[in-house]
């Protein structure tokens, strides 16, 4: 019975991370009609940036809370710059290229980031230990043990999802973003500064990646150069299942995928290696049933 | 809901209704198209003209009502099967495959009578070549009606043609299938007044050389409608508000209000 | 190049001969040279000649000559192939590389039919190749089935596995469709890694090929010369590549090619004129997967060993990039693209560690600078068949 609590916690954490990644995907697609597959590797970049920041502040003798903040700040900044840079130099100039070319290119950009980290970060091929910056230990509820740091991270993650949602739906910038996503031409004629909204949107999406990467590092206590790839595939999947361009869909998709994984691990422990297989099979079935995602509109076109 | 077939009607719709979510695009439409006539379908923007064409050609589903083509109920027929029933159409926004050659595009119109089996296409190359030559000859003939120079461009990519030539290719694509009923969706869109006059003459010429072709034209250009059509149906908000010859319809007060009342 | 010119007006043939000779020489040079500096110079030279040829219309001249003289082209290729084989006859590693290039090329021709002709996105090509490989491995362990059937089985099983994806592939469009094959590819890998029955991450050993008594593990002795046994594999893969090229060519220059193009470009127009979209997509998907499965079986038996790490998403990505770099929809472009993608990383030893990084950068650069690929797809010209 106590295991259930553990699974629940794990699932929530995973779902939060997937949701954050999926939100990025859906934002990028909504505003520029592009699937930015390098998103996962931007997350990794952020995580490594956070790690370096922790090392730096630690060696400077700064307090643990400062290191904690430095990690997030560095990760989010680095990811934002990388994400905005990629969008400005590589995606925007090619926005009229065939979607397949764009998809391939962002996948390659991801590869570049991943390989760069592997090759140029000291001992990059091996997993890096992420320091403990949150209070260890936990408490019991019933027969389940709940880690304190896990709870803090989950709350932080959900809070950040909320912040992004708020930015998109309640601020002027978010309005501009949604206008551009809806209809670029009209948005421009309405006076929205296209050249500013786009990079800022990519920065926003990438900031969430940096945030997610740091959370990942703190929760699992380690990061490695390849962690972004599977996260990207899952995040992409979650965004698709929820319906590309739909923020709620991305969030729900992320938790759904985590839920499927957790279900397999909890219900059939001997098959836990196959958790991703099960999840993907179910996702494919879902997509077949609803070819444009769970929360998307359906037209009456038969062809 | 079976409808009695009116003699002399090639196409008839009864109570045809199309809903998009909350929007009623077509509202209990009863339309008859007689064999061999050119019917104009007019009405203000958003009155459902293109929707009507889309429902008939299987692109949209009908929410209620029925459609019969030559006595056969085609209300739920798929777009694919409709071409077998003798239906062909052009599109409002030109739907040519631009990277493909003029020949490829026109051949699509003849698809249903071509042998597309693997054996024929991969092994029996001589027979395939003969079929291809025959289609090329037919395509050239059709293009020739419009413009002999166009016939020479049979193997140019469609993207290299100007707008008016692309329209002509689309019409040829619709005609090569030897259809019973052709739907023309705003054939003059994007063209100048003179070009429109040209298209009108060409359509009349085609009709003459093919003899007995039934056409439904959706148009905004009233001059074209006046010259080309035998009869008109006027739609407004998805309902038929008037029908008859153009000159009668043009002075009908209900019609005038529909157009002018919209500001 | 007027299409009104009568067929007996002579088109110069020497550009074609020069092109084939140059290709053969370039291939041999790249394979043979070990010294990194000389290799670098050779590469630069080859690249320069290619640019110059493209710039001064040499490529177009060769293409025209090729389409007017198909039998000459086939003859030249045959002679060139024999010459290359002769020169490389005792370079084991070189022959193995050439065979690998040909395997990738054939798989990518299948991928061209799927993506370039029918417009399906397939990010799981490596998984289908792997299916063929594992089929060969399992059949090899059980024994009994003659090798020609083993190879065909590899193709058939790949088709079978692919049919599981048919429904999602047909119902989804664009990025949603990309997800389907992407997820499948990732799943395939996870499944193989975890599954002990199929060897797990350690992989499986497989015996070599024996076709109708032709034992691929023994050297060939012809006219007093000894050809290393890898030649057998090069000949086999070469024949298969040629067959795949012919298949793709016949498809392209037929009604099937036209219908596939229309399905890819405009499904609404396709439906309205009677094309059954599902049928054509399934056809393309099946053909491509069959080729992938057969080549997977060949690959497995050639290398004698397979493991899940041979068939990752990264490998599928490489195959997709070969198709795009070569010029999507143009089967001829697959050959030089496969050559560059497979050969260069092996040869340029000094960049071994950085090969994936440099490869990714190269693809990005080409996508920006030459998005149509090396050899852009030409407008279909059924002129030979449809002369009035």
Cβ of residue C196 closer than 8 Å to a chain B Cβ: no
**Residue in A115, A237, A292 closest to C357 by CB:** A115
Contact B101 C247 (CB under 8 A): no
pLDDT at C7 over 70: no
How far lies B242's CA from each of B31, B53, B235, B245, in Å? 11, 18, 7, 10
Angle between helical axes of A194-220 and A39-59 (0-180°, round to 10): 60
Interfacial C residues in 226-265 facing B (CB < 8 Å): 247, 250-251, 254-256, 258-259, 261-262, 265
Per residue in C333-385, pLDDT tens? Answer: 999 899 988 887 777 777 778 888 888 998 899 888 888 887 788 888 775 55
Cβ of residue A291 closer than 8 Å to a chain C Cβ: yes
pLDDT at A299 over 80: no
Per residue in C65-105, pLDDT tens? Answer: 887 788 888 888 899 988 888 888 888 888 899 999 999 99
Per residue in C107-164, pLDDT tens? Answer: 999 999 999 999 999 999 999 999 999 999 988 887 778 888 999 999 999 999 999 9
Contact B155 C381 (CB under 8 A): yes
Please, what is the Cα angle at A113 between A111 and A115, to 5 degrees? 65
Cβ of residue B179 closer than 8 Å to a chain C Cβ: no
What's the complex ipTM? Answer: 0.86
* CA dist., res. C177 & res. C118, Å (int): 13
| A296 Cα to chain B: minimum distance (Å) | 14
* CA dist., res. C326 & res. C335, Å (int): 8
Which chains have 3 or more CB–CB distances shorter than 8 Å to chain B? A, C
Please list, in sequence order, all residues whose beta carbon lies within 8 angstroms of the beta carbon of residue C186, skipping any fewer than 6 positions away. A230, A233, A276, A280, C313
pLDDT at C252 over 90: yes
More confidently predicted of C8 and A130: A130
Contact C371 A101 (CB under 8 A): yes
Contact A301 B60 (CB under 8 A): yes
Interfacial C residues in 191-210 facing A (CB < 8 Å): 191, 193-194
**Residue in C175, C317, C357 closest to A244 by CB:** C175
Banded pLDDT at A303 (limits 50, 70, 90): very low
B contacts of A298 (beta carbons < 8 Å): none
**What's residue C386's pLDDT?**
46
Contact B61 A303 (CB under 8 A): no
The pair of structure tokens assigned to B61 is 């589903």
Interfacial B residues in 95-114 facing C (CB < 8 Å): 95-101, 103-104, 107-109, 111-112, 114
pLDDT at A298 over 80: no
A contacts of B18 (beta carbons < 8 Å): 300
Cβ of residue A61 closer than 8 Å to a chain C Cβ: no
SS3 B8: coil
pLDDT at B13 over 70: yes
How far lies B126's CA from each of B57, B119, C7, in Å? 35, 12, 18
SS3 C77: helix
Interfacial C residues in 99-138 facing A (CB < 8 Å): 115, 121
Helix (H) or strand (E) holding B38: strand B38-42
For an interface test with C, which of A36, A113, A115 has the most C Cβ atoms less than 10 Å from its Cβ?
A115
**What's residue A273's pLDDT?**
75
Beta strand pairing status for C210-211 and C204-205?
unpaired
Query: Across the B/C interface, how many CB contacts are shorter than 8 Å?
Result: 117
**Residue in C182, C191, C363 closest to A108 by CB:** C363
SS3 A140: strand
Cβ pair C124, C287 in contact under 8 A: no
Per residue in B135-157, pLDDT tens? Answer: 999 999 888 888 888 888 899 99
**What's residue C126's pLDDT?**
96
Per residue in A11-23, pLDDT tens? Answer: 999 999 999 999 9
Cβ of residue B124 closer than 8 Å to a chain C Cβ: no
Per residue in C38-53, pLDDT tens? Answer: 888 888 888 888 888 8
**What's residue B200's pLDDT?**
75
Cβ of residue A100 closer than 8 Å to a chain C Cβ: yes
State the average pLDDT over residues A224-244: 90
Per residue in B109-133, pLDDT tens? Answer: 999 899 888 888 888 888 899 999 9
Cβ of residue C18 closer than 8 Å to a chain A Cβ: no
Nearest CA in chain A to C316: A104
State the average pLDDT over residues C2-13: 59
More confidently predicted of C351 and A10: A10
**What's residue B5's pLDDT?**
57
Cβ pair A238, A244 in contact under 8 A: no
Per residue in A144-160, pLDDT tens? Answer: 778 888 888 899 999 99
pLDDT at A271 over 80: no
pLDDT at A133 over 80: yes
B contacts of A302 (beta carbons < 8 Å): 58-61, 78-79
Cβ pair C342, C101 in contact under 8 A: yes
Beta strand pairing status for B72-73 and A222-223?
unpaired
| C249 Cα to chain A: minimum distance (Å) | 23
Cβ pair B42, B235 in contact under 8 A: yes
Per residue in B187-196, pLDDT tens? Answer: 888 788 888 7
Please, what is the Cα angle at A78 between A72 and A82, to 5 degrees? 145
Helix (H) or strand (E) holding B243: strand B239-244
Contact B20 A303 (CB under 8 A): no
What is A265-297 written as a DSSP string? HHH-GGGGGGHHHHHHHHHHHHHHHSTT-TTS-
Per residue in A53-112, pLDDT tens? Answer: 999 998 888 888 888 899 999 999 999 999 999 999 998 888 888 888 898 999 999 999
**What's residue A169's pLDDT?**
86
**What's residue C258's pLDDT?**
96
Contact B111 C250 (CB under 8 A): no
**What's residue A32's pLDDT?**
81
User: Could you give the percent of chain B with pLDDT greater than 70?
Assistant: 97
Please list, in sequence order, all residues whose beta carbon lies within 8 angstroms of the beta carbon of residue C341, skipping any fewer than 6 positions away. C104, C318, C321, C322, C325, C359
State the average pLDDT over residues A220-238: 91
**What's residue A109's pLDDT?**
95
Contact A291 C173 (CB under 8 A): yes
Interfacial A residues in 155-184 facing C (CB < 8 Å): none
**What's residue C3's pLDDT?**
45
Cβ pair A266, A4 in contact under 8 A: yes
Per residue in B231-255, pLDDT tens? Answer: 999 999 989 999 999 999 888 888 8
* CA dist., res. C208 & res. C217, Å (int): 7
User: Could you give the percent of chain A with pLDDT greater than 70?
Assistant: 97
**What's residue B21's pLDDT?**
84
| B224 Cα to chain A: minimum distance (Å) | 30
pLDDT at C293 over 60: yes
| C237 Cα to chain A: minimum distance (Å) | 28
Range in B4-8, B255-259, C168-172 the model is least confident about: B4-8
Per residue in A179-198, pLDDT tens? Answer: 888 777 788 787 788 778 88
More confidently predicted of A24 and C229: A24
3-class DSSP string for C228-292: CCHHHHHHHHHHHHHHHHHHHHHHHCCHHHHHHHHHHHCHHHHHHCCCCHHHHHHHHHHHHHHHH
The pair of structure tokens assigned to B27 is 């509202």
pLDDT at B202 over 50: yes
Contact A301 B78 (CB under 8 A): no
């Amino acid at each position: 019975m106590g295991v259930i609590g553990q699974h629940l916690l794990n699932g929530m954490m995973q779902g939060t991370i997937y949701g954050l990644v999926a939100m990025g995907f859906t934002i990028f697609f909504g505003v520029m009609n592009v699937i930015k597959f390098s998103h996962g590797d931007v997350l990794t970049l952020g995580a490594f940036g956070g790690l370096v920041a922790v090392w730096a502040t630690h060696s400077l003798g700064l307090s643990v809370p400062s290191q904690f903040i430095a990690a997030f700040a560095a990760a989010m900044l680095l990811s934002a710059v990388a994400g905005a840079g990629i969008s400005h130099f590589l995606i925007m100039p090619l926005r009229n290229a065939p979607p397949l070319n764009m998809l391939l290119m962002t996948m390659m950009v991801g590869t570049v980031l991943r390989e760069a980290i592997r090759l140029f970060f000291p001992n990059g091929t091996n997993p890096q230990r992420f320091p403990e910056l949150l209070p260890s230990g936990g408490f019991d509820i019933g027969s389940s043990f709940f880690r304190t740091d896990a709870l803090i991270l989950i709350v932080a993650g959900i809070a950040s999802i909320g912040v992004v949602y708020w930015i998109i739906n309640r601020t002027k910038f978010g309005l501009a973003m949604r206008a551009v996503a809806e209809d670029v031409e009209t948005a421009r004629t309405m006076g929205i500064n296209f050249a500013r909204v786009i990079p800022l949107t990519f920065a926003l999406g990438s900031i969430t990646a940096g945030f997610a990467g740091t959370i990942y590092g703190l929760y699992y206590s380690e990061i490695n150069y390849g962690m972004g790839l599977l996260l990207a595939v899952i995040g992409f999947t979650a965004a698709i299942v929820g319906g590309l361009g739909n923020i709620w869909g991305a969030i729900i998709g992320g938790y759904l995928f985590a839920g499927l994984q957790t279900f397999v691990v909890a219900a059939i422990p001997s098959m836990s290696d196959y958790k991703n297989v099960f999840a993907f099979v179910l996702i494919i079935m879902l997509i077949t049933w609803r070819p444009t995602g769970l929360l998307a509109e359906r037209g009456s076109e038969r062809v | 809901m079976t409808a009695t077939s009116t003699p002399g009607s090639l196409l008839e719709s009864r109570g045809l209704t199309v809903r998009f979510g909350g929007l009623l695009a077509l509202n209990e439409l009863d339309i008859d198209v007689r064999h061999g006539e050119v019917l104009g379908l007019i009405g203000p923007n958003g009155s459902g003209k293109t929707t009507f064409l889309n429902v008939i050609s299987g692109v949209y589903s009908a929410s209620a009502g029925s459609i019969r083509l030559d006595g056969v109920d085609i209300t739920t027929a798929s777009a694919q099967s409709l071409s077998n029933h003798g239906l062909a159409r052009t599109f409002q926004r030109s739907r040519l495959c631009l990277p493909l050659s003029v020949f490829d595009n026109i051949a699509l119109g003849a698809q249903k009578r071509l042998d597309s089996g693997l054996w024929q296409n991969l092994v029996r190359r001589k027979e395939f070549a003969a079929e291809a030559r025959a289609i090329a000859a037919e395509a050239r003939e059709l293009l020739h009606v419009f413009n002999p120079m166009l016939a020479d461009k049979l193997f140019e990519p469609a993207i290299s043609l100007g707008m008016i030539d692309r329209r002509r290719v689309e019409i040829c694509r619709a005609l090569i299938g030897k259809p019973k009923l052709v739907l023309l969706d705003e054939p003059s869109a994007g063209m100048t007044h003179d070009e429109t006059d040209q298209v009108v003459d060409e359509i009349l010429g085609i009709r003459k050389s093919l003899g007995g072709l039934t056409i439904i034209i959706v148009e905004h250009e009233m001059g074209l409608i006046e010259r080309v059509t035998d009869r008109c149906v006027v739609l407004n908000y998805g309902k038929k508000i008037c029908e008859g010859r153009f000159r009668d319809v043009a002075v009908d007060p209900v019609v005038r209000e529909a157009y002018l009342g919209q500001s | 190049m007027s299409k009104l010119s009568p067929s007996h007006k002579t088109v110069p043939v020497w550009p074609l001969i020069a092109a084939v000779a140059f290709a053969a020489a370039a291939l041999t040079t790249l394979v043979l040279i070990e010294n990194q500096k000389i290799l670098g110079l050779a590469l630069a030279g080859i690249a320069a000649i290619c640019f110059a040829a493209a710039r001064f219309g040499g490529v177009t001249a060769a293409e025209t000559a090729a389409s007017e003289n198909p039998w000459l082209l086939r003859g030249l290729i045959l002679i060139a192939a024999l010459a290359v084989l002769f020169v490389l006859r005792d370079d084991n590693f070189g022959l193995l590389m050439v065979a690998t290039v040909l395997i990738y090329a054939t798989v990518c021709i299948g991928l061209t039919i799927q993506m370039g002709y029918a417009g399906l996105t397939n990010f799981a090509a490596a998984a289908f190749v792997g299916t063929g490989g594992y089929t060969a491995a399992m059949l090899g362990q059980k024994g009994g089935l003659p090798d020609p059937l083993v190879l065909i089985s590899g193709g058939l099983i790949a088709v079978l596995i692919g049919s599981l994806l048919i429904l999602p592939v047909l119902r989804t469009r664009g990025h949603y469709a990309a997800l389907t094959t992407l997820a499948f590819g990732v799943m395939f890998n996870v499944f193989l890694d975890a599954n002990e029955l199929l060897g797990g991450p350690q992989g499986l050993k497989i015996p070599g090929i024996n076709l109708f008594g032709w034992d691929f593990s023994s050297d060939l002795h012809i006219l007093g010369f000894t050809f290393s046994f890898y030649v057998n594999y090069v000949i086999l893969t070469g024949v298969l590549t040629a067959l795949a090229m012919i298949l793709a060519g016949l498809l392209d220059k037929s009604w099937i090619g036209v219908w596939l193009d229309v399905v890819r470009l405009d499904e609404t127009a396709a439906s309205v004129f009677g094309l059954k979209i599902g049928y054509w997509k399934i056809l393309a998907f099946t053909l491509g997967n069959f080729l992938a499965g057969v080549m997977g079986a060949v690959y497995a038996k050639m290398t004698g060993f397979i493991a899940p790490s041979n068939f990752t998403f990264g490998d599928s990505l490489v195959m997709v990039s070969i198709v795009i770099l070569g010029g999507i929809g143009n089967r001829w472009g697959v050959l030089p693209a496969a050559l560059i993608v497979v050969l260069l990383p092996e040869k340029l030893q000094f960049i071994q560690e950085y090969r994936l990084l440099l490869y990714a950068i190269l693809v990005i650069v080409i996508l920006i600078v030459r998005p149509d690929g090396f050899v852009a797809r030409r407008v279909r010209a059924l002129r030979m068949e449809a002369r009035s």
